[in-house]
Amino acid sequence: MHKYLFINVFLVFSALLGTSAARAQTHWQFDVPFVPTPHVVIEEMLRLAKVTPQDFVMDLGSGDGRVLISAAQKFGARGIGVDLDGELIAESIESAKVAGVSDRVQFLQQDLFKTDLGQATVITMYLLPGVMARLQPRLLELKPGTRLVSHDFRIGDWKPDVTTQIRKNAFLWIVPAKVEGRWQLTMALPGGEHRMDLELRQKYQEIDGFGQFGDRPSQIWEPRLSGDRLSFVIVDDRDRDNEAALYFEGQIKGDVIEGQLRRGAGKAQTVHGWRAQRVSAVKP
Ligand X SMILES: C[S@@+](CC[C@H](N)C(=O)[O-])C[C@H]1O[C@@H](n2cnc3c(N)ncnc32)[C@H](O)[C@@H]1O
Nearer to ligand X, 84 or 233 (CB): 84
Cα–Cα distance, 250 to 86 (Å, whole number): 46
Site string for ligand X, 143-182 (x = CB under 6 A): --------x-------------------------------
Identify which of 67, 200, 222, 202 has the alpha carbon closest to the alpha carbon of residue 140: 202
Nearer to ligand X, 170 or 246 (CB): 170
Q: Which of 46, 63, 122, 220 binds ligand X (CB under 6 A)?
A: 63
Nearer to ligand X, 115 or 226 (CB): 115
Supply the minimum distance, in Å, between the C-beta of residue 34 and ligand X: 4
- The secondary structure of 246-258 as a DSSP string is EEEEEEEETTEEE
Supply the minimum distance, in Å, between the C-beta of residue 103 and ligand X: 21
Q: Which of 111, 193, 206, 222 binds ligand X (CB under 6 A)?
A: 111
Alpha helices (H) along 18-125: 19-22, 39-48, 66-75, 86-99
Stretch that binds ligand X, among 83-91, 96-104, 153-161, 201-209 (CB under 6 A): 83-91
CA 267 to chain centroid, in Å, comes to 36
Q: Which of 13, 75, 126, 153 binds ligand X (CB under 6 A)?
A: 126
Q: Which of 51, 71, 78, 83 binds ligand X (CB under 6 A)?
A: 83
Cα torsion 150, 152, 155, 157: sign: positive
Supply the minimum distance, in Å, between the C-beta of residue 111 and ligand X: 4
Contact 15, 8 (CB under 8 A): no
Stretch that binds ligand X, among 29-37, 71-79, 230-238, 241-249 (CB under 6 A): 29-37
Cα–Cα distance, 224 to 283 (Å, whole number): 22
Cα–Cα distance, 210 to 193 (Å, whole number): 20
